[in-house]
Amino acid sequence: MSDFAQHLINGVAAGTIYALVALGYTMVYGVLKLINFAHGDVMMVGTFLGYGVAQKLGYEHQSSLWGVLAIFLAAMAACAVMGFLMERFAYRPLRDKPRLTALITAIGISFTLSYGFQLDFGPLPGAAPRAFPEIIAPREWLIIGDRAVVIWNWQVISLAIAIGLMLILQALVYRTRFGRAMRAVSFDHRTAALMGIPVDRIIALTFMLGSALAAGAGILYAIKDTAIQPLMGLYVGLKAFVAAVIGGIGNVPGAVVGGLLLGLVEEFVVGYSSSSWRDAVAFGFLIVVLLVRPGGLFGRVAAEKV
């Protein structure tokens, strides 16, 4: 029983990270219908930036409240700028071109970032993993029994941030002018432009928001798993994408639910079946969900107008 509870906690913790990364995927997809393949790598870059800032701050300051805020804000701001540049120079010129084109560009950016960060000259970090500093000092939040089940403070913090972000994003999308404009652009950006919506600005802002989210998610991920390395974006990005699709890509609560579900499914496969089939089961779960609900759990397949 206690290990069931522990698995549950592990699964939620892992799912939280998937959910956070999936949120960024889903935002960008919602507006541009673009699978931003480089999203995971933006996350990786953000994490390395956070790491750099933490190193600069030094051991004393990095775990103070201001230090943590500085790390998060610096990484998120830098990634927002990066997202803006990516959108401006790599995606915007292709907006009216076939969607696959932008996907290939995204793949190109992904390769450049992930392999580029494996280089070991100049300021680039090299391929070796780095230990991410404990900017949130790990503390047991809840202990049940003789350490049979342990919940850590950062697990609670991450989950709270994920759910908080989901609510904020949901409110942003459905309660603000910006959100209304986003939905309009998502529906049909040409018509939206005719209605006087500044389409370029909305898309750029969405991209910046998504990239900043990725950076935040990356740092939380680094706090959870304590190590960072250049290819991390590839794996987490793929899983998060799967999570977003399970939830119904383009749907904000769907991303969070999808992420949590995926985390739990993986966890329980390992816990009660064989760990070597974990990835197969994760993808199998995705396929089953899609075959039963072709638009994901919360998504709807738009009926084609005939």
Judged by CB under 8 A, the chain residues 144 through 183 that form the site for other proteins are 147-148, 150, 152
- Is residue 253 within 8 A of residue 298, CB to CB? The reply is yes
Q: Are strands 140-144 and 227-228 parallel, antiparallel or unpaired?
A: unpaired
What is the closest distance, in whole angstroms, from the C-beta atom of residue 306 to other proteins in the complex?
A: 5
Given the complex with other proteins, which of 21 and 181 has the nearer CB atom? 21
CA neighbor of 271 nearest in space, from 8, 18, 17, 13 = 8
52 is a contact residue toward other proteins (CB under 8 A)? no
Does residue 227 contact residue 130 with C-beta atoms inside 8 Å?
Answer: yes
Query: 87-96 long-range CB contacts below 8 Å, 24 or more apart?
Result: 87/203, 87/204, 87/207, 87/208, 88/204, 91/32, 91/34, 91/207, 92/200, 92/203, 95/32, 95/189, 95/203
- Of 85, 136, 156, 270, which one interacts with other proteins (CB under 8 A)? 270
Q: Which of residues 273-302 bind other proteins (CB under 8 A)?
A: 274-280, 283-284, 286-287, 290-291, 294-296, 301
Q: How far is the CB of 77 from other proteins (least distance, A)?
A: 24
Let me know how long the chain is.
306
Smallest distance from other proteins to CB 164, Å: 22
Q: Which of residues 238-257 bind other proteins (CB under 8 A)?
A: 238, 241-242, 245, 249
Q: Which of residues 205-224 bind other proteins (CB under 8 A)?
A: 221, 224
Q: Which of residues 61-90 bind other proteins (CB under 8 A)?
A: 90
Cβ–Cβ < 8 Å for 113, 233: yes
How many residues touch other proteins under the rule CB under 8 A: the total is 84
Of residues 4-33, which lie at the interface with other proteins (CB under 8 A)?
6-7, 10-11, 13-14, 29, 33
